[in-house]
Chain A
Amino acid sequence: MLSLAIEAAFAMMSLALLFNLWRVVRGPDLPDRILALDTMYINTIALIVLYGVHEQSGFYFEAALLIAVMGFVGTVAVVKYLLRGDIVE
């Protein structure tokens, strides 16, 4: 039962990633792309956690943790750039 759920989740996450990718590519505006990238970070976290569950190992969770922290900082930096240009002022 669990394996079926995992398979389904993998499929949905992959689909979500593809949609994100479409937004990143299409835009049309920068904020759209930035949002899409940020969502990609989140979906990737989910994907990695799923993978950990699938492999029955907590080995990969740090990567998910780090993406959570890093993705946030990256998005903040780009958004600050859009707002002010000068991100460290």
Chain B
Amino acid sequence: MNNSLLLPLILLPLFGALLPPLFHRFGRTASAWAAAVVVAAALLLLLSLLSPVFGGQTLLYHADWLPAYGLNLSLRLDGLSMLFALLILGIGLLVILYARYYLSERDPMGRFYGFLLLFMAAMLGVVLSENLLLMLVFWEMTSLSSFLLIGYWKYRADARQGARLALTITGAGGLSLLAGILLLGQISGSYELSVVLDSADIIQAHPLYPVTLVLILLGAFTKSAQFPFHFWLPHAMAAPTPVSAYLHSATMVKAGVFLLARLFPALAGTELWFYLVASTGMITLLLGAYHALFKHDLKGLLAYSTISHLGLITLLFGLGTPLGAVAGVFHIINHAIFKASLFMAAGIIDHESGTRDMHKLNGLWRYMPHTATLAMVAAASMAGVPLFNGFLSKEMFFAETLHQGWLGDWSWLLPLGATLAGVFAVAYSIRFIHDVFFNGEPIDLPRTPHEPPRYMKVPVEILVALCLLVGVVPAWTVAPLLATAASSTIGGELPRYSLAIWHGINTPLLMSLIAMLGGALMYALRHHLFALHARCFRPFDAKQVFERLLYKLILLARGLTEVLENGSLQRYLGLLIGSVVLVTGVALWDTPLSGPVPSAEVDAVTLVGALALAASALTTTIWHRHRLVALIQLSVVGLVVSVAFVRFAAPDLALTQLSVEMVTIILLMLVLYFLPQHTPAESSSLRKGRDLLLAGGAGASVALLAWGVLTRPYQTIGDYFMQQSLPGGGGHNVVNVILVDFRGFDTLGEVTVLGIAAIGILMLLRGLRLKMPAADGEGRPWASDRYPMILAVISRPLLPLALVVAIYLMLRGHNMPGGGFIAGLVTAIALILQYVASGIAWTRARMNINYIKLTATGVLLSTLTGLGSWLFGYPFLTSGFGHFHLPLVGEFELATAMLFDLGVYLAVIGSTLLVLANLGTLTLINREMAEEN
């Protein structure tokens, strides 16, 4: 059942979209060829599948994607998809040829073809999807890629606005379609079309059927520009004409009617369907036809005519009868052919004369007779003149409006509306031809018009030939395709219909006659009608309304953002902390505070420590505006916390805390120099009260929570690590084994981030000029002795001692408290002490290390150690270890984790010094500058 040729049909244009931009460097033609070859290949692939599909088979392809959610990569090629795929690829190929001559030298052609192929892939995805969710993915892709195509001339405001409008409308419709399809899938139990199409009874009897139907129809109507969502389509005219030709004929708007046709067996045939779809179609048909007549823009006329014809197709599907569906499918084919050629002809006229304004365009017959002939044939088809393809489907349409059973006594409304629309269609078709090609002389055209390049006309010629062939000998040309497509649309036996041109004298023919004559008459009276139209209708620009609404929405969003996110950190923190206190408070209100675990005995020393901790935390807060004093209070906090770690048997944490504490103090000292010594008072006492309340609440909550957790028995993952540390990681020090082995990947990431942050700080400091204070906070001048001798003399011997300590901590880290991180900090602090005591120049003269390289070496070493385990077939960062024996030293253990830890050690030294030493150098540079001046 799996036909593997279906997937490449979509993948070819999808990945082929990369080719035209790549080939662009070889010239515009190369780029066009690249696009054409891709599409031609896909078309050939499709044609190879023609015979089984015409034989009535439905080709399927299935691959699981997210089967648990019903989303599968399943594709389907039946008659209807075949018809659409043929249109998409066939007309797409012609558009590629046409665009090669339409786009100017300045337009980036590679990008155009890239977007076009992307759009084509999306459209193919829509029509070939068997899975409805998959179809929705492609559906959204068409909205996005058409946005890119419509906004292709991105320097033009109207193109950008038109693209935005189209995206908003079709995107909103897509959202509604998503909801509809989810409902549909829930009702029928599957998202696969084969199942959905067979569940018409279940779906239509389901209480959610009306909701589902409305949601899905919203998606279809927005896409195919049905009233009242039709207004985006005329503004999509801002796209280059090849895009318009493509969007209006074979794609985009046709996706909407495709959806109607695709889901026809599942959804159609109910009263609700008839009233919703048929009436929308009828209104759109009349509205579009009416407006088309009064457009002075050539493309505008065609755009409204597209809206009108899509209304016609929608109306046909809305009738809910099999014959209506057949006529709808037939008109999809015919409309695609003549509308593509008309747009291309309009593009040629625009291209060669420089305007699309029908006030100026007159009498072009003399300048471009060949193009004029082609346009006339296509326009005749649009008007529904006999012997052209449009006539056949229009006759079927007229006939179908006579045979519906829903309206009862009001049944005459449909044929009347249809005939009226026919009258308008004939009138605007005549106008398209007569106004442009005859009707006197051209009026100050920007350019003297002439025939376009030879190959620009080829696509139009092909399409016009098709108009004639289908119109004259339908049975030999379009009949098999129509039969296959229509039967797979209906999902059952085809009703009897005849494609003959002459059915004898009957009501539809009469309606056609009325349309012809009425249209001609209407055109003759057009000047009066134009005047009447101008008096009755004030020009209404949907785009302006949309832009205004959008602007208001932006203002609203901004206002909302302002309220929620006004840039005040205090407010964010206040809200955050306040809600944390509130939520935990409410949630845990009824929970008893203490658990069964008895509290340990409190000894006097611990109590003193706790007292010191609380007191210094409090004084830090109280004196936070005297920065140096606050810093000293904070140091007491750090010290007590370190001792607390010792007291509660966490020596590794104590060592780390102490080292980090010191580095932080040095860092703050370095920065504080450039900052004011006192923070100005900013908070009112009311604010202070609020903050006190918040902080007190948060502190109390955390304290109570900690109490609650600690008095309850709980299981931790600690036991596992305790047991596994020696057998799994070869070390007695669990903390270190976790850092370098069990969670080595975390550590590697952290060290990398540390290095990146250090380099980031370095970059921020580069070129920074700061004002250096001449006196301290109290106004006393600085001491003149830069490097006090006692300090220098004591500091120097400290370096080797500290290095010994560091190496000791480093080496034993795997088994006893210590490790690369702590050792790195100790080394860095000992080194920075030399900078402090003896100065930058002195230190640099003796130790010229590039700290960036040192950091990089450390990170690299750790990474390579991790990669090393791959050599032995183990996962990244697996640690190896063994016990060795050396004379004198005795038994000892080596682990690759030590190498990893060495990398950490180097990276920590590098990044710490990178920050501290460079902050120090900042004053040096500023001082040198000051002395130079």
Contact = CB atoms under 8 A, between A and B. Distances in A.
B1 to A, nearest CB: 71
Contact of A48 (B611, B646, B791, B805): B646
B308 to A, nearest CB: 80
A65 B662 CA distance: 14
A21 B616 contact: yes
**Among the interface residues B612, B659, B805, which one has the most CB atoms of the partner chain A within 10 A?**
B612
B840 interface: yes
A83 B738 CA distance: 44
Interface string B779-797: 0001101101001000100
Interface string A58-88: 0110110111011011101110111111111
B833 A73 contact: yes
A86 B665 CA distance: 14
A86 B662 contact: no
B661 interface: yes
A86 B673 contact: yes
Contact of A65 (B631, B791, B805, B830): B805
Interface stretch (B25-33, B373-381, B403-411, B633-641): B633-641
B836 interface: yes
A85 B673 contact: yes
Nearest to A13: B605
A43 B703 CA distance: 28
A13 B837 CA distance: 31
B604 A70 contact: no
B839 A86 contact: no
B831 to A, nearest CB: 11
Contacts, number: 163
B343 to A, nearest CB: 73
A62 B651 contact: yes
A9 to B, nearest CB: 10
A69 B923 CA distance: 26
A20 to B, nearest CB: 9
B635 A86 contact: no
Contacts of A30: 628-629, 632
Most chain-A Cβ atoms within 10 A of its Cβ — which of B604, B608, B788, B826? B608
Given A76-B791, A76-B795, A89-B923, A63 B636 contact: no
A25 B839 contact: no
Given A21-B616, A63-B646, A72-B798, A37 B818 contact: no
A87 B829 contact: no
A51 B670 CA distance: 35
A63 to B, nearest CB: 5
B639 A69 contact: no
Contact of A18 (B611, B661, B921): B611
A89 to B, nearest CB: 6
A81 B780 CA distance: 13
Contacts of A14: 604-605, 608
> Interface size for chain A: under 10, 10 to 19, 20 to 34, or 35 or more residues?
35 or more
B292 to A, nearest CB: 79
A88 B835 contact: yes
Interface in B594-636: 604-605, 608-609, 611-612, 615-616, 619, 628-629, 631-633, 635-636
Contacts of A48: 643, 646
B786 A66 contact: no
Interface string B641-653: 0110011000100
B396 interface: no
Contacts of B923: 86, 88-89
Contacts of B662: 70, 73-74
Contacts of B826: 66, 69
A53 interface: no
Contacts of A17: 608-609, 612
Most buried by B among A44, A70, A82: A70
Interface stretch (B508-516, B760-768, B875-883, B912-920): B912-920
B77 to A, nearest CB: 74
A76 B635 contact: no
A88 B832 contact: yes
B709 interface: no
Grouping DSSP codes into helix (H, G, I), strand (E, B) and loop, the B interface class, with mixed when no group exceeds half, is: helix
B202 interface: no
Interface in A3-59: 10-11, 13-14, 17-18, 21, 24-25, 27, 30, 33-34, 37, 40-41, 44, 47-48, 51, 59
Contacts of B605: 10, 13-14, 47
Given A14-B605, A60-B651, A66 B773 contact: no
A78 B627 CA distance: 12
A83 B642 contact: no
Contacts of A10: 604-605
B782 A85 contact: yes
Contacts of A25: 615-616, 619, 633
Contacts of B647: 51
Nearest to A41: B639
A51 B833 CA distance: 30
B672 interface: yes
Contacts of B832: 73, 88
Contacts of A69: 798, 801-802, 805, 826, 829-830
B669 interface: yes
Contacts of A89: 786, 839-840, 920, 923-924, 927
Contacts of B921: 88
Contacts of A24: 616, 619, 632-633, 636
The residue in A13, A74, A88 that gathers the most chain B C-beta atoms within 10 A of its C-beta is A88
A9 B791 CA distance: 32
B836 A63 contact: no
Given A24-B633, A77-B669, A84 B786 contact: yes
Contacts of A33: 629, 632
Nearest to B916: A88
Interface in B712-756: none
B772 interface: yes
B794 to A, nearest CB: 8
Given A63-B651, A77-B665, A11 B917 contact: no
Given A69-B830, A85-B773, A44 B643 contact: yes
A73 B829 contact: yes
A66 B826 CA distance: 8
B658 interface: yes
B658 A67 contact: yes
A89 B931 CA distance: 14
Nearest to B649: A59
Contacts of A11: 604
Nearest to A10: B605
A12 to B, nearest CB: 11
Contacts of A83: 782-783, 785, 788
B809 interface: yes
B776 A82 contact: yes
Contacts of B35: none
A86 B784 CA distance: 12
Contacts of B782: 83-86
A80 B792 CA distance: 12
Given A24-B633, A62-B809, A69-B826, A85 B639 contact: no
3 A-B pairs with the lowest CB-CB distances in the bound complex, closest first: A88-B920, A83-B783, A14-B608
20 contacts: A17-B608, A21-B615, A24-B619, A25-B616, A37-B636, A37-B639, A48-B643, A51-B646, A59-B651, A63-B654, A67-B658, A72-B798, A74-B666, A80-B791, A81-B672, A82-B776, A83-B785, A85-B782, A87-B673, A88-B917
Given A25-B619, A78-B628, 18 more contacts: A10-B604, A44-B639, A63-B658, A66-B658, A66-B659, A67-B642, A69-B826, A73-B666, A73-B832, A76-B791, A78-B631, A81-B628, A82-B776, A84-B786, A85-B772, A86-B772, A88-B923, A89-B840
Interface of A: 10-11, 13-14, 17-18, 21, 24-25, 27, 30, 33-34, 37, 40-41, 44, 47-48, 51, 59-60, 62-63, 65-67, 69-70, 72-74, 76-78, 80-89
